[in-house]
């Protein structure tokens, strides 16, 4: 299976390196990004160099497209990839909320949309619980203030993140609102809502914590199955908005596509 990567930030580069090193049944077809010169230099440095392509060229040459860009860019990527019958791995999964038209498009062209677990754990348990009745899903997220810089919620309210001296609740509400307010910060919440009871019923409390060294998430799910609580502390990558587990879980998803034995829901 030929894989094309859109976006050469932390996640995109890690995925390219993993494919270049070898994943069963998969081969890197090429990649694209906003910064062409920088992207070309990166791709030329791989063990097996691949071309820098336009998005249209990438879709044409790939069987599966990995979106590792932004929610805004996903608006262009998804219709092109799914319309051409290409499977699509979505990292900016907040952009999937409310897009049943994309799901219908994928069904009409015979392809699939994959969402990695990203920087959280426990989605297998949530999916299992959803077969029965789930009564509530909540997430508490704690991040260093600088990891929230540039978010629409922060910009619109002119929040001075540098002035925060103690743990501060920045946002509380449903996933539908949170994913618009913090599109680069809460894709894990979108994944949780898609795996469970939907974005309107899935709630988050987002805290800025000065001196926090890791991105911390605590998920609590209650339902007829009982109660599930998952807590994870992610080591940030060179991009403070992205935990290392985000790209590791994406690579694991790709590895599973070619695996004979697959473990987990």
- pLDDT digit string (tens) for 115-138? 999 989 999 999 999 999 999 999
Banded model confidence at residue 259, pLDDT cuts 50, 70, 90: confident
The whole-angstrom separation of Cα 186 and Cα 191 is 9
pLDDT digits (tens, 9 = 90+) for 1-32: 999 999 999 999 999 999 999 999 999 999 99
CB of 159 closer than 8 Å to CB of 146: no
Q: Can you read off the two tokens belonging to residue 253?
A: 């998803």
Does 114 qualify as catalytic in the annotation? no
Q: Can you name the CATH fold of 123-241?
A: Dihydrodipicolinate Reductase; domain 2 (3.30.360)
Phi, psi for residue 29 in degrees, rounded to 5: -90, -30
Tokens 């392509």, located at residue: 53
Active-site residue (options: 217, 245, 246, 254)? 217
Tokens 């499977």, located at residue: 87
pLDDT at site 126: 96
pLDDT digits (tens, 9 = 90+) for 177-200: 999 999 988 999 999 999 999 999
2-118+245-257: CATH, from 3.50.50.60, 3.40.50.620, 3.40.50.720, 3.60.20.30: 3.40.50.720
The full set of domain ranges for the chain reads: 2-118+245-257, 123-241
């Amino acid at each position: 299976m030929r894989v094309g990567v859109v976006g050469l930030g932390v996640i995109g580069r890690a995925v390219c390196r993993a494919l270049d090193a070898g994943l069963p049944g998969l081969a890197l077809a090429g990649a694209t990004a906003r910064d062409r010169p920088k992207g070309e230099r990166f791709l030329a440095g791989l063990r097996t160099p691949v071309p820098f392509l336009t998005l249209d060229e990438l879709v044409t040459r790939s069987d599966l497209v990995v979106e590792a860009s932004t929610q805004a860019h996903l608006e262009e990527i998804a219709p092109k990839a799914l319309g051409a019958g290409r499977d699509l791995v979505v990292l900016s999964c907040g952009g999937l909320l409310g897009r049943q038209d994309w799901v219908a498009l994928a069904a009409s062209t015979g392809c699939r949309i994959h969402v990695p677990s990203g920087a959280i754990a426990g989605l297998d348990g949530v999916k299992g619980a959803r077969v029965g009745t789930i009564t509530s899903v909540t997430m508490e997220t704690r991040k260093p203030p600088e990891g929230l810089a540039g978010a629409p919620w922060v910009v619109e309210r002119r929040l001075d993140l540098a002035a925060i001296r103690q743990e501060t609740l920045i946002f509380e509400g449903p996933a539908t609102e949170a994913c618009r307010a913090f599109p680069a910060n809460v894709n894990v919440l979108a994944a949780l809502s898609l795996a469970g009871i939907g974005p309107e019923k899935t709630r988050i409390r987002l805290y800025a914590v000065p001196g926090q060294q890791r991105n911390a998430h605590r998920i609590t799910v209650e339902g007829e199955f009982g109660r599930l609580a998952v807590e994870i502390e992610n080591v940030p990558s060179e991009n403070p908005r992205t935990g290392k587990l985000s790209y590791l879980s994406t690579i694991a998803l790709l590895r599973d596509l070619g695996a004979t034995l697959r473990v987990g829901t």
